Structure formats: structure tokens, C-alpha cells
Amino acid sequence: MQPAGPVLCVLGELVVDLLPVPEAGAGPEGTAPQYVARPGGNALNVAVAAGRLEAPVRLLARLGTGPLAANLRRHAELSGVDTSGFVDAAEPVSLAVVGVGPDGSPDYGFHVLGAADWQWTDAELEQALPAEVGAVHVGSISSWTEPGSSAVARLVERLSGRSLVSVDPNIRPMLADGPVGATLGNDRAAVARRLDGLVARADVVKVSAEDLGWLEPDAGDLDEAARRWAGRGPALVVLTDGGAPLRIARPGGPVLHREIPRVDVVDTVGAGDSLAAGLLTGLLAAGVTSRAALEAASDEQLLALVDDAALVAALNCTRVGADPPTRAELDAAKDRR
């Protein structure tokens, strides 16, 4: 049961991540690697992270068919996420086969053609929304893949000015362009155009250097890129760059840098999602649920929230897959720093 008051709504896809089990080997011939199925996807990861931080959060997602669908719902529920925004869909659940590089960075192979996640209609979204939306977070594949991305854009347009709007492009190049992207109706120009509309109406944007490298191959200096994105409409831009300092930009202000916590990294799956959840949870707890409130917040207040969000992401990276910390774990880590 979600408490009364403004709710964080997270809108996006549900994905089953198949993660390798290195210690299990790949069989005597090296042809049978073992994987474990874990719940994933940008929206599910953000909602779960927010739920574990004890925020009032509702996940708006189209739950597809297949034997792992029930696991996705249960994963959200166990973290305190309100799943009454789920739509039971006839299309299949999305699947991602994940590889992990030597530095912990993920590599993805997607099996998503005809999946449930990007088939949103206006009626489904309207029905899934709670009565009081404090903030809505959209992004990743479902926000830039038709036909559902048009419905997502219209929802953002309706909520803009009434609730805080957060956008994370979370580009997956294989699905956004090229032969695989084409099967979904995507190419670079179309994806960039759809994201332009969302960013223009966003209050908060979390974008990675990898996203920028794909969207703006000639972006150049990251400070200048953060400043430029803050001039496109958002009141706050947080630019991540792996283990490098975060860049925080507000319209007309200097680009600020914040160091990220140093931890022993197991992998970085879900790190950006955890950071977004930490930031939005902090804003909601501080009563920042409108554009005016965000613009009125001081740099010091926002930097403190960004620091907490970076710690949420760092703690996630100390575990396998997207496994964000609880509120108690975050508070304990804050006491130690």
C-alpha cells in the first residue's frame, strides 16, 4: 500500500537480464556458458532502487508474457514498489543477454522484437497513473521506440508544469540504429528527434557520456556539453562519465564537478539507474515536486542530493547486477564517509 501524497512514477520497460556465471565455466567443450536470469530494465531498476530507499514509487510497465513475467512483478513488490500501474500485455517479455568486461562494464545482446514494452496507448497510461504525481521518470528504449514513445511523449506533455519530469536517454545503440534498430523502426535521426522533444520538456536530465557520444558524436568537451544540455530546457542536468567526477549543470550557471565514492567494483550494471533513483528520491523527500521548487533550490542543497545519489550508485556497483542498497544500507554508508 502506497502512502498518501506525491508519488514517484517510473515509466519504462521490464527486461529479464541473463547474466553470466563465470565460476560455473562453459562446459568441457567451452560451448555451454551458464547464466542466471535476473530482473532488469531501466525502469524496473529505477523503481526498485527508489522502493528500497523507502520512497513512494509506482512502476508503470507493460508486463509481457512468458514464464519469467511473475518474477519481474515479484521483484518489484519485494522492494516496496506499487505495481498497480502494471498493464498485462499479450506481447512477450524483453530479454537481454549480458556480458561483463574486465572493467565491469556491461555488453548487451537484446531479444526484443515485438516485445510488450513499447506498445503503450494513451488510455493505458492514463489508467496507470496515480492521483497525485510528484515526479515522473521516463527514458531508455520505451521512450524512443514507436508506437509507444508517442504516447509517452504526450503523457510528458500533459504532466509538464504539474509534476517534476525526469528523462534518462539510456541509449542502447544496437536498438537505436542499424539493422536491429531498423526492425523496431528506429534510426539515429528518429531516436534523436524523439529525445529532443522529451528533453525540451524535462526538468531533470540524467545523461551519460556514452549517451552523448552516440547522440552527439562531435560533442567535444563534456563541460560544454553539460552546459549546452542545460540550455535545452531542463532545470538540472547530471552528466555521468564512468568513474570520473559527475558534472552538474543548471541554466545560466557554472558546471559543477562532484567526485564519486571509491568502492571495489563488481560490475556497473544498474549504476546509472540507481543514481537516478537516488536523486529523484532525494528531491521528492525534500518536497521538490515542481519546476519552481527545483529552480528555487540552492546549489548546496542539490549537490548534497547528488552526493547521496552517487553513493547509492556506488553501493550498487559492489554487487552483481542491478542490486541497489536499502535505506538502512545507504544511511550506514553515509555515516562511514
- Name residue 191's amino acid: V
Per-residue pLDDT of 300-329, as tens digits, reads 999 999 999 999 999 999 998 789 999 999
Identity at 37, one-letter amino acid code: A
Show Cβ contacts of residue 230 under 8 Å, excluding neighbours closer than 6 positions. Answer: 236, 237, 249, 250, 251, 253
Taking only the tens place, the pLDDT of each residue in 18-50 is 888 888 888 888 899 899 998 989 999 999 999
- pLDDT score of 4: 60
Place 157 in a pLDDT band, splitting at 50, 70 and 90. very high
pTM above 0.75, yes or no: yes
Domain 7-23+32-336 fold is UDP-N-acetylmuramoyl-L-alanine:D-glutamate ligase (3.40.1190)
DSSP bridge partners of 97: 18, 109
User: Do residues 92 and 66 lie in contact, with contact meaning Cβ atoms separated by under 8 Å?
Assistant: yes
In this predicted structure, what is the pLDDT of residue 104? 66
SS3 40: strand
List, for residues 91-149, the tens digit of each pLDDT value: 999 998 988 777 767 677 888 889 999 999 999 999 999 999 999 999 999 999 999 99
Domain residue extents for the chain:
7-23+32-336
Using pLDDT thresholds of 50, 70 and 90, give the confidence band for residue 1: very low
Supply the mean pLDDT for the chain. Answer: 93
Is 306:276 a contact under the CB 8 Å cutoff?
A: no
Per-residue pLDDT, 281: 97
